[in-house]
Amino acid sequence: MEGKYPNLSKPIKLGNVYFKNRMFGAPMGGTDITADCTVGPMSTAFYEYRAKGGAASVTVSELVVHPKTEGSHMYHLDLHTPGSLSSFTYTADAIRRHGAIASVELSHSGQYSGTYLTDKDKKEGLAQWGPSNGTRPDGREVKELTQDLIDEIVEAYGEKAALAKKAGFEMVMVHGGHGWLINQFLSPYFNKRTDKYGGSLENRVRFAQEVLDSVRKAVGEGFPIEFRMSGSELFDGGYDLNEGIEIAKLIEDKIDLLHVSAGTYQRGFGVTHPSMFLPHGSNVYLAEAIKKHVKVPVATLGGLNDPQMMEDIIASGKADVVEMARALLADPELPKKVVTNKDDLIVRCLRCYTCMAERAQTATRRCTVNPIIGRELNNMEILPAAVKKKVLVVGGGPGGLQAAYTAARRGHEVILCEKNDEVGGILIGEQAIPFKYEMYQLGVTLGKLCESVGVDIRLNTPVTKELAETINADAIIVAAGSEPFLPPIKGLDGENVILINNYHHEKEKVTDKVIVLGGGLAGCEVAIHFAREGKQVKLVEMNSELSPDANVRHRPLLLSEIEKSGIEVYKNHKALEVNANGVVCSNKENETLLIEGTSVVCALGQRARRDIVDELWNSAPIVSQIGDCVKVSTITTAVYQGHHAAMDV
Ligand SMILES: Cc1cc2nc3c(=O)[nH]c(=O)nc-3n(C[C@H](O)[C@H](O)[C@H](O)COP(=O)(O)O)c2cc1C
């Protein structure tokens, strides 16, 4: 078969091991870690999902090599804890049985040990160890590792690598980036030692070299070792790309794959895990620069989800391997779709950070566009239904499309009626905002996926009770979505006012002096977009906070973008009237003032479309309602509820 992406699909040999293509699954923390730090069955299923999807390798993270000096509640692997080795063996096996190479990330957080520990009492009892004495940003004391402890940790890397090999892993990844212990030794910012591990670059690299020697001794020649490093720490005082190149040169003969990531978790989260505000592939330049100076194969990653871009990266020699984390949550079958030329069916990652926010807040895993993530074992496998039914889905937004897709995959006869002339619902408007384009694409792709499984999509078809009764479905899933909420503010019907949902049709009406009314998530994002277009932007919000509806990972980056973009923010300003000169507001002190602007984009929220639910609630034996028409919420909620409504038919 003629492949569209021959470079991505081509096998590669690292050490003595053959990898079936160039698309590797980057490490992502597991969903359940048992009380004694072994891999739970849910996590095994979480990793297996990506192996099934066709990734050449799947890396299990993060195996803490030396629990004595690293108290984070992550995976431990030892011979004393019952179930420890066996859990890793089952996990490696689950990955390998799909033809993917199982790898495990060997890690130590160093001075950041315990940062992500959800048990705060336990955290209080921990000691943090780093290359040098110091105080962490959260005020906790960091103790300098003694030579004895360094020797123990170096040895522990080897011990854990040997156990991983015993468990059936065929590669190990040594985590030397993102601000964790090995990175702390490499960094002039963290490492102030005056012994053989500090000072010159050669000395700062010594710890990494000793770790890699210890791992090599444990696993033997030919067993691939991948080293993850940040090509540059990307903050003042950290090492830069030039030093990154030198570090790479000093370790390359000890490894089989150099994995070049970027920045640090603590000081550049939105760069290490590139946010939607950055271009795709924003960190590739680091791998490309380093690759020019080393012979060892190089991997790159960061915000990669477009097959053509990834193909070009390999074809042009910028890297030998591409790795993906979030893109493989959104669509674990991405690699399979690439090698079978079905790339138009790839559900793309939105870079919305739902995955990372859920982890931070509830220690669970979720993906906005993939309802199965984190719930792989909850009877989520899509099997043919015992009794085939006729299902009518009302509304072609993300929830309705997901419902139709899942129902059709279960073998039901599915009709989806959409009142507009295209599917996508509220996502259609996102096409006008470049950094949210994937949200628009989600609607398009879900539409194609529905077509691929035979959903009968009827556009320009509003559903009335009569139509529903004529269709005579066994089940109706109402996914009617929401409509803009318009408070009784004088002048909102004016010529200079554009509803955010209509912006993609009315772009030319937005002038160079624009006021965005409403500082929720949608308002903040469109304001950033206008500022990027060079417009003078004023953002008016009646509450004291901007975008409280954004998740904990996205929000800080959103607020920093607003600040960087020079947007004038008016919090605690209630709009009273819109006129040709701008928006008349009252402020906290109850003063009335005019915020000047020549056009006004209205982002005052949405409200549930209940009329359709009220009309259809008894038009079939089973009627379910999902997404915004129940309660205005997120794409995540709509997709998740749509999937489950279809599973329940
Ligand atoms: C949900 C999630 C969990 C992650 N957990 C880890 C981890 O345990 N260890 C690690 O080295 N990187 C971890 N990462 C970082 C990724 O491996 C990757 O470097 C980063 O997300 C950038 O790649 P991406 O843009 O393809 O997502 C995680 C990323 C995500 C999204």
pLDDT of residue 125 exceeding 80, the answer is no
User: Average pLDDT, stretch 69-82?
Assistant: 83
Q: Is the CB of 553 under 6 A from ligand 1?
A: no
Pocket test residue of 23, 24, 28 for ligand 1, highest count of atoms within 8 A of CB = 28
Strands 141-144 and 134-135, by their bridges, are antiparallel
pLDDT of residue 73 exceeding 90, the answer is no
Q: What would the DSSP string read from start to end of 253-287?
A: GG-SEEEEE-SBTTT-HHHHTT-TTS-TTTTHHHH
Q: Is the CB of 105 under 6 A from ligand 1?
A: yes
Q: Is the CB of 262 under 6 A from ligand 1?
A: no
φ, ψ (nearest 5 deg) of residue 559: -65, -35
Beta bridge partners of 49: none
Q: Is the CB of 628 under 6 A from ligand 1?
A: no
Per-residue confidence (pLDDT) for residue 34, from 0 to 100: 85
Per-residue confidence (pLDDT) for residue 51, from 0 to 100: 98
- 291, 248 in Cβ contact below 8 A? no
pLDDT band (50, 70, 90) for residue 126 = low
pLDDT of residue 241 exceeding 80, the answer is yes
- Give the closest residue to 615 by CA, choosing from 485, 480, 426, 482: 480
Q: Is the CB of 302 under 6 A from ligand 1?
A: yes
DSSP 3-state of 534:
coil
Smallest CA separation from ligand 1 atom 7, residue? 28
Q: Is the CB of 350 under 6 A from ligand 1?
A: no
The Cα–Cα gap between 455 and 396 comes to 12
pLDDT of residue 120 exceeding 70, the answer is no
Tell me: the pLDDT tens digits for 342-370? 999 999 999 999 999 998 888 889 999 99
Pocket test residue of 23, 46, 59, 61 for ligand 1, highest count of atoms within 8 A of CB = 61
CA–centroid distance for 116 within its chain: 18
Tell me: the pLDDT tens digits for 436-483? 999 999 999 999 999 999 999 999 999 999 999 999 999 999 999 999
- Give the closest residue to 249 by CA, choosing from 302, 191, 293, 300: 293
Q: Tokens for 640?
A: 């998740």
Per-residue confidence (pLDDT) for residue 647, from 0 to 100: 95
Q: Is the CB of 28 under 6 A from ligand 1?
A: yes
The Cα–Cα gap between 178 and 264 comes to 4
- 30, 58 in Cβ contact below 8 A? no
Q: Tokens for 122?
A: 């336990």
Residue 220 makes CB contacts below 8 A (sequence gap 6+) with none
DSSP letter assigned to residue 628: G
Ligand 1 center to 25 CA (angstroms):
10
- Give the closest residue to 25 by CA, choosing from 319, 318, 304: 304
- 146, 91 in Cβ contact below 8 A? no
Residue 118 makes CB contacts below 8 A (sequence gap 6+) with 73, 363
DSSP 3-state of 249:
helix
Pocket test residue of 181, 326, 362 for ligand 1, highest count of atoms within 8 A of CB = 326
Ligand 1 center to 373 CA (angstroms):
15
Per-residue confidence (pLDDT) for residue 431, from 0 to 100: 96
Ligand 1 center to 285 CA (angstroms):
19
Q: Is the CB of 274 under 6 A from ligand 1?
A: yes
The Cα–Cα gap between 461 and 607 comes to 22
Per-residue confidence (pLDDT) for residue 122, from 0 to 100: 60
pLDDT band (50, 70, 90) for residue 119 = low
Ligand 1 center to 186 CA (angstroms):
21
User: Average pLDDT, stretch 30-50?
Assistant: 90
Smallest CA separation from ligand 1 atom 18, residue? 325
Q: Is the CB of 303 under 6 A from ligand 1?
A: yes
Smallest CA separation from ligand 1 atom 3, residue? 28
Q: Please, what's the largest Cα pairwise distance for the chain?
A: 83
- 15, 313 in Cβ contact below 8 A? no
Beta bridge partners of 608: 482
Per-residue confidence (pLDDT) for residue 17, from 0 to 100: 98
Q: Which residue shows structure tokens 């279809």?
A: 646
> Residue 442 belongs to what H/E stretch?
helix 437-452
pTM of the model: 0.96
User: Average pLDDT, stretch 575-591?
Assistant: 96
CB atoms within 10 A of CB 90: 17
Ligand 1 center to 18 CA (angstroms):
24
Count CA within 13 A, CB hemisphere, residue 415. 18
φ, ψ (nearest 5 deg) of residue 98: -105, 10
Exposure of 135 by Cβ count < 10 A (0-12 exposed, 13-18 middle, 19+ buried)?
A: exposed
Ligand 1 center to 561 CA (angstroms):
22
pLDDT band (50, 70, 90) for residue 140 = confident
- Give the closest residue to 509 by CA, choosing from 528, 530, 488, 491: 530
Q: Tokens for 401?
A: 């499309």
Output 120 or 236, whichever has higher pLDDT.
Answer: 236
Q: What would the DSSP string read from start to end of 4-70?
A: S-HHHHS-EEETTEEESSSEEEEEE--S-B-TTSPBPHHHHHHHHHHHHTT-SEEEEEEEES-GGG-
pLDDT of residue 500 exceeding 90, the answer is yes
Q: Is the CB of 20 under 6 A from ligand 1?
A: no
- 12, 314 in Cβ contact below 8 A? no
pLDDT band (50, 70, 90) for residue 114 = confident
- 64, 75 in Cβ contact below 8 A? yes
Tell me: the pLDDT tens digits for 182-198? 999 999 999 999 999 99
φ, ψ (nearest 5 deg) of residue 164: -65, -40
Per-residue confidence (pLDDT) for residue 569, from 0 to 100: 98
